[in-house]
Structure 1
Amino acid sequence: MSERLRFSPSILARLGEELVPQADQGIMELVKNAYDADALRCTVKLERTSVEGGAIRVVDDGSGMTEADLVEGFLVVGRSRKAATAPTRRLGRIQVGDKGLGRLSAMRLGRKVVVLTRPFEEPGIELRLELNWDKFDEAIAVEEVELSLVRSPTTKGHGTEIHIENLRAPFPRGTADKLARNLLLLSDPFREIHADSGGSSDPGFTAELEANEFEDLQSKVETSYFRDADFRIRGTLNDHGEGQFSLLDWKGEVLYSSNATRTYEAPKLEFDLWHFVLDAGRFSNKSSTLPEVRAWLKHIGGVHVYQDGIRVPAYGGPGNDWLDLNLLRVRSPELRPGTNTSIGRVGVSNTAGALVQKTDRVGYLESEAFHELRRFCIDTLDWAAKVRVSERESGRRAERDDKSKRTAKASASLDKVLAKTVPDTQRKVVDNAIERVLRANEQETKVLREELQLYRSLATAGMTSAVFAHEIGRPLELLDTNLGMILKMIPEDRRKDADRRVGRITRQKERLNSFISIPLKLLAKSKRRRGRVDIDPCVRGLVDLIAPVLGHFNVEMEVSLNASTSAVSGSEALIEGVLLNLVTNSINAFQRRSTDVETRRIRISTAYDGDVLIMVEDNAGGIKDFDVSEIFLPGVTSQPDGTGFGLTIVRDSVSDLSGKIDVDPLTEFGGAKFTIKLFPMRALFE
Structure 2
Amino acid sequence: MPGFSVDTKLFRELGELLVGRESTALVELIKNSYDADATKVTIFGERISTPTGTILVSDNGTGMTETEFANGFLRIAGRSKSGANARSPWFQRRYTGEKGVGRLAAHKLARVIEIVSRRWDGTERDMVDGFSATEELKATINWDKIEALETLDQIENSDAVSIKIGVDGRRQAGTALKLSPLRKHWSDRDREQFLDEVATLTPALSLIEPLEPSVTTIKPLLSALKVRDELRPGGFEVDYSGDLALSESELPATAESASWIIEIDCNKDLRRLRILVMPTRRTRTEFSNAEPFVVDRILEKTDPAVGFQARIFQRSNGSWPKRYQGVRVYFEGFRVLPYGDIRDDWLQLDRDYRSRGHSELGRLRKRLDWELPAGNEKELLAVQGNTAFFGAVLLTRSGADELEMLVNREGFVPSEQFDFINDTVRLAIDLQVRLRYAATSEVKQARQITKERQQRAAQRAATNQAPTAYNLRELHQVARQSLDKARVAISSGRPEAAQAELIQLEENLQSATDLGDEVISEATMFRVVASLGLEQAAFVHEVRSLALTAQALADALEGLARETTDEAVATRLRAISAEMRQLRERLRRNAVYLADVTGVEGRKRRSRQALRERVERVLGFFETALARRGGTVEIDIPSDLQTPPLFPAELVAIVSNLLSNAIKFMGEAGRVRVSADVSSGKFKMRFENTGDKVDLHEAERWFEPFRSTTTSVDEALGQGMGLGLTITRSLIDEYGGTIRFITPSTGYATAIEVEFPRP
For the superposition of Structure 1 and Structure 2, which TM-score range results when normalised by the shorter chain? 0.5 to 0.7
What are the within-5 Å matches in structure 2 for residues 447-466 of structure 1? none
Identify if the C-alpha distance between structure 1 residues 379 and 57 changes in structure 2 by more than 3 Å, giving closer, same or farther: same
Conservation of the 8 A alpha-carbon contact between 2:253 and 2:324: no
* Structure 1 match to 2:234: 203
Question: In 2 relative to 1, CA 41–334 (structure 1 residues): closer, same or farther, beyond 3 Å?
Answer: farther
2:404 pairs, out of 356, 359, 366, with 356
Counterpart position of 1:341: 388
Name the structure 2 match of 1:228.
257
Q: Which residue of 2 aligns with 1:135?
A: 145
Which of 276, 295, 298 is the matching residue for 1:258? 295
Change (3 A) 1:77 1:160: same
Aligned residues of 2:22 and 2:108 also touching (Cα < 8 A): no
Q: Aligned pair 1:298/2:322, yes or no?
A: yes
Which of 316, 321, 328 is residue 277 of structure 1 equivalent to?
316
Name the SS of the counterpart of 1:114 in structure 2.
strand
Does residue 151 in structure 1 map to residue 165 in structure 2? yes
| Offset of residue 32 of structure 1 | 1.2
Conserved 8 A contact 1:228-1:250: no
Deviation at 1:321, TM superposition (A): 1.3
Partners of 1:412 and 1:14 in 2: CA distance: 81
Seen in structure 2, the aligned counterparts of structure 1 residues 412 and 359 have a Cα distance that, compared at 3 Å, is closer
Q: Matched residues in 2 for 1:108 and 1:262: separation?
A: 44
Q: CA deviation at 1:231?
A: 1.0
Which residue in the other structure is 1:51 paired with? 50
Structure-to-structure mapping, 1:366-445, within 5 angstroms: 366-392=414-440, 413-414=476-477
**What CA distance in whole angstroms lies between the structure 1 residues aligned with 2:258 and 2:171?**
45
Pair 184,121 (structure 1): closer, same or farther in 2 beyond 3 Å: farther
The one-letter code sitting in structure 1 at the alignment partner of 2:424 is: F
- Provide the residue aligned with 1:21 in structure 2: 20
Q: 1:182 to 1:399 in 2, by over 3 A?
A: closer
Q: Which residue of 1 aligns with 2:208?
A: 191
Distance in 2 between residues matched to 1:39 and 1:68, nearest whole Å:
20
What are the residue-to-residue correspondences of 1:28-177 with 2, within 5 Å? 28-83=27-82, 85-121=85-121, 123-146=133-156, 147-154=161-168, 156-177=171-192
Instruction: Please list every run of 5 or more consecutive structure 2 residues that lacks an aligned counterpart in the other structure.
Output: 123-132, 211-222, 285-290, 358-378, 454-467, 482-503, 509-677, 681-759
CA distance in 2, matches of 1:20, 1:396: 50
Cα distance in 2, alignment partners of residues 22 and 396 from structure 1:
46
Shift of residue 138, structure 1, vs aligned partner: 1.9
Aligned residue among 277, 287, 291 for 1:247:
277
1:625-668 deviations in Å (ceiling 9; x for gaps):
xxxxxxxxxxxxxxxxxxxxxxxxxxxxxxxxxxxxxxxxxxxx
Choose 367-376 or 201-210, whichever is displaced more: 201-210
Structure with the greater alpha carbon radius of gyration: 2
Tell me how far apart the structure 1 counterparts of residues 422 and 226 of structure 2 sit (CA, whole Å).
24
The alpha-carbon deviation at position 200 of structure 1 amounts to 5.7
Which digits, 9 at most, give the CA deviation of each residue in 1:578-609, with x for residues without a partner? Answer: xxxxxxxxxxxxxxxxxxxxxxxxxxxxxxxx
Deviation, 1:411, is: 7.1
Query: What per-residue deviation string (whole Å, max 9, x for no partner) do you get for residues 295-327 of structure 1?
Result: x52112101011222211111112111101123
Distance change in 2, residues 1:305/1:17 (3 Å): same
Separation (CA, whole Å) in 2 of partners of 1:248 and 1:47: 46
Compared CA separation, residues 196 and 244, structure 1 to 2 (3 A): closer
In the TM superposition, structure 1's runs of 4+ consecutive aligned residues that sit over 6 Å from their partners are: 396-404, 406-412, 415-418
Asked if the contact 2:226/2:309 (under 8 Å) is kept, the reply is no
* 1:119 alignment partner, SS class: strand
2-side partners of 1:110 and 1:569: how far apart? 58
**RMSD (CA atoms):** 4.0
Distance 1:132 1:308, change over 3 A: closer
Structure-2 separation of matches of 1:58 and 1:51: 19
Contact 1:297 1:341 in 2 (8 A): no
8 Å Cα contact 1:308/1:348 also seen in 2: yes
Query: 1:328·1:336 contact (CA, 8 Å) conserved in 2?
Result: yes
Q: SS at 2:199's partner residue?
A: helix
**Given the alignment of the two structures, is residue 268 of structure 1 paired with residue 299 of structure 2, yes or no?**
no
Alpha carbons of structure 1 residues 42 and 409: separation in structure 2 relative to 1, 3 Å = same
Deviation at 1:14, TM superposition (A): 0.7
Displacement of 1:169 in angstroms is 2.7
What displacement does 1:108 show?
4.3
Letter in 2 for 1:141: T
Q: What is the Cα deviation at residue 119 of structure 1?
A: 1.4
| Structure 1 residues 188 and 386, CA gap change in structure 2 (3 angstroms) | same
User: Cα gap change, 1:271/1:195 in structure 2, threshold over 3 Å: closer, same or farther?
Assistant: closer
* Percentage of matched positions with identical amino acids: 24
Q: Which residue of 1 aligns with 2:346?
A: 322
The secondary structure found in structure 1 opposite 2:11 is helix
Aligned length: 409
Quote the residue 1:181 is aligned against.
196
The CA deviation string for residues 68-127 of structure 1, in whole angstroms up to 9 with x for no partner, is 211112111122411364232211222221111243133343222111111113612211
TM-score under structure 2 length normalisation: 0.49
- What is the DSSP-based 3-state SS (H/G/I as helix, E as strand, rest coil) of the residue aligned with 1:340? helix
3-state SS in 1 of match to 2:330: strand
| CA distances 1:31-59 after superposition (whole Å, capped 9, x unpaired) | 11111111111111111110122111111
Q: Could you list the per-position Cα deviations for residues 518-555 of structure 1 after superposition, in whole angstroms to 9, with x for gaps in the alignment? A: xxxxxxxxxxxxxxxxxxxxxxxxxxxxxxxxxxxxxx
Contact map agreement 2:118 2:174 (CA 8 A) in 1: yes
1:56/1:399 Cα in 2 relative to 1: closer, same or farther (>3 Å)? closer
Q: 1:370 to 1:164 in 2, by over 3 A?
A: same
- Of 304, 308, 322, the residue aligned with 2:332 is 308
Q: Is the 8 A contact 2:141 2:162 kept in 1?
A: no
Distance between the aligned counterparts of 2:162 and 2:449, measured in 1? 85
Using the TM superposition, give the Cα deviation of residue 5 of structure 1 relative to its aligned residue in structure 2, in angstroms: 2.2
C-alpha contact (below 8 Å) 1:45/1:211 kept by paired residues: yes
Q: In 2, Cα distance between the equivalents of 1:374 and 1:68?
A: 42
In the TM superposition, what is the alpha-carbon distance from 1:385 to its structure 2 partner?
A: 2.4
**Cα separation, 1, equivalents of 2:120 and 2:106:** 25
1:230/1:274 contact within 8 Å kept? yes
Return the offset for 1:3.
4.4
Mapped to 2, the partners of 1:142 and 1:310 lie a distance apart of: 33
d(CA) in 1 for partners of 2:475, 2:199: 65
In 2, distance between residues paired with 1:400 and 1:54? Answer: 60
CA distance, structure 1, for counterparts of residue 97 and residue 445 of structure 2:
55
Whole-angstrom distance in 2 between the partners of 1:245 and 1:226: 18
Cα pair distance change 1:397/1:339, threshold 3 Å = closer
Closer, same or farther in 2 for the Cα pair 1:232/1:138, shift >3 Å?
same
CA distance in 2, matches of 1:56, 1:259: 48
Please report the TM-score for the alignment, with normalisation by the length of structure 1. 0.53
Q: Is the 8 A contact 2:266 2:309 kept in 1?
A: yes
Distance in 2 (alpha carbons) for counterparts of 1:209 and 1:219:
12
- SS of residue in 2 equivalent to 1:355: coil
